[in-house]
């Protein structure tokens, strides 16, 4: 069958070139007589894979030398607990809540220790459609860290460069030295990033990095020493860093696939090049929504409309269900909104080509005309 246009929020589309290369190498990786998923994680073959993956990631994101790159397990959701376990050191942490994932992160951190809610943009109807008034934020100068989600996958709220710069400036003025911690699961590698603004970045792989099973953590060296000996070795950033992410058997095939994605990104010109394509994809889809005369509606403030996750609604739930049904028949998958909010959601990750967005816009126009 023809490969579908995949708008799934995660696990999500992977580049066809990466899938084909993995397929070609599946039974015999580089002439070793076995698949890369069949050999020891401590052997020469896999060590070369994880070292190349880290080197390519460092190049793509311009990661400074005083940051460690960890390939962990448990998904971004485990980081909701692992971050406070490692960084709190008995102090309170500050949380910004701008959607479902930062809300869950705050709730989980409160199980570990003190987690102060600095601001939430939750509306009375439960929706999230904006960022907080950044200049009015009052951070605790004694906080262990400030946590935020820079792209809310479910609600489609993203922190772009201008808002990030204002947040960094506000934090530097009101709580100098307090590190920023960010969940970047659904937009990391979609555009250039100044890693130096953050003490720690984490991301589940299954959006722009690779298949599910590996979690990326980028952490500044000085923060590794915060965790005491009471933190389990498997959950300790310091011990994982000391062991090259191989304190136990890592998700070897997922790391291999991530490495192939990193090379694919480099071959396409890096993050600046992919960002230009992503901006165009998002522009075309939002324009289709906005010119539909209200048939399609996206309620997110235009300054923080996500370029990766575009949620929208139709006039009735019945029409939304029909939209999903007809879109699947037309060769689109992954357009049903998250179960917690309903509606429709199109995720425009790096591997989703511009042609897929053009096809979706054409389908949307035809559906609206019929509706």
By annotation, the residues acting in catalysis are 101, 183, 207
Question: Whose CA is closest to 300, among 131, 173, 143?
Answer: 131
Element (H, E) at 173: helix 161-174
Sequence-separated (6 or more) residues with CB below 8 Å from residue 154: 9, 99, 100, 101, 309, 311, 338, 340, 341, 345
Across-strand partners of 68?
219
Query: Are 153 and 9 in contact, with CB atoms under 8 Å apart?
Result: yes
Q: How crowded is residue 16: how many other Cβ atoms within 10 Å of its Cβ?
A: 12
CA 180, CA 177: separation in Å to the nearest integer? 9
Per-residue burial over 207-245, b if 16 or more Cβ lie within 10 Å, else e, is bbbbbbbbbbbbbbeebbebbeeebeeebbbbbbbeebb
Q: Among 303, 209, 325, 204, which Cα is nearest to 257's? A: 209
Which tokens sit at 331?
């060769």
- Per-residue tokens: 264: 């694919």
- Entry field: residues in the chain: 371
Contacts of residue 193, defined as CB under 8 A and 6 or more positions apart, other chains included, come to 61, 184, 271
Strands 344-347 and 309-312: antiparallel
Looking from the CA of 197 toward its CB, the CA atoms found within 13 Å total 19
Whole-number Å distance between alpha carbons of 153 and 151? 6
- Contact (CB, 8 A) for 72 and 200: no
Q: Cβ distance 305 to 187 under 8 Å?
A: no
Report the chain's terminal Cα–Cα distance, integer Å: 29
């Amino acid at each position: 069958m023809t490969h579908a246009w995949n708008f799934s929020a995660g696990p999500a589309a992977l580049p066809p070139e990466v899938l084909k290369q993995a397929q070609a190498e599946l039974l015999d990786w580089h002439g070793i007589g076995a698949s890369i998923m069949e050999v020891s994680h401590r052997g020469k073959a896999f060590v070369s894979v994880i070292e190349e993956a880290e080197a390519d990631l460092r190049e793509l994101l311009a990661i400074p030398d005083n940051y460690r790159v960890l390939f962990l397990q448990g998904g971004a959701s485990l980081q909701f607990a692992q971050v406070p376990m490692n960084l709190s050191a008995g102090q309170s942490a500050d949380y910004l809540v701008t959607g479902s994932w930062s809300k869950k992160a705050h709730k989980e951190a409160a199980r570990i220790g003190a987690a102060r809610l600095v601001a939430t943009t939750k509306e009375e109807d439960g929706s999230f459609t904006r960022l907080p008034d950044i200049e009015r934020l009052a951070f605790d100068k004694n906080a262990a860290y400030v946590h935020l989600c820079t792209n809310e996958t479910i609600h489609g709220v993203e922190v772009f460069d201008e808002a990030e710069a204002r947040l960094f400036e506000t934090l530097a003025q009101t709580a100098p030295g307090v590190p920023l911690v960010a969940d970047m699961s659904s937009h990391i590698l979609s555009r250039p990033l100044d890693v130096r603004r953050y003490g720690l970045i984490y991301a589940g792989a299954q959006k722009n990095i690779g298949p599910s099973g590996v979690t990326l953590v980028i952490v500044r060296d000085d923060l590794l020493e915060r965790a005491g000996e009471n933190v389990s070795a498997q959950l300790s950033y310091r011990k994982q860093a000391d062991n090259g992410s191989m304190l136990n058997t890592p998700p070897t095939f997922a790391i291999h696939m991530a490495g192939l994605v990193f090379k694919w990104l480099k071959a396409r010109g890096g993050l600046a090049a992919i960002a230009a394509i992503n901006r165009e994809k998002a522009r075309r889809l939002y324009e289709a929504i906005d010119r539909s005369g209200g048939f399609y509606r996206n309620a997110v403030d235009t300054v923080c409309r996500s370029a990766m996750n575009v949620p929208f609604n139709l006039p009735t739930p019945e029409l939304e269900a029909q939209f999903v049904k007809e879109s699947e028949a037309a060769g689109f998958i992954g357009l049903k909104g998250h179960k917690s909010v309903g509606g429709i959601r199109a995720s425009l990750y790096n591997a989703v080509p511009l042609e897929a967005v053009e096809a979706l816009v054409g389908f949307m126009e035809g559906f609206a005309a019929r509706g």
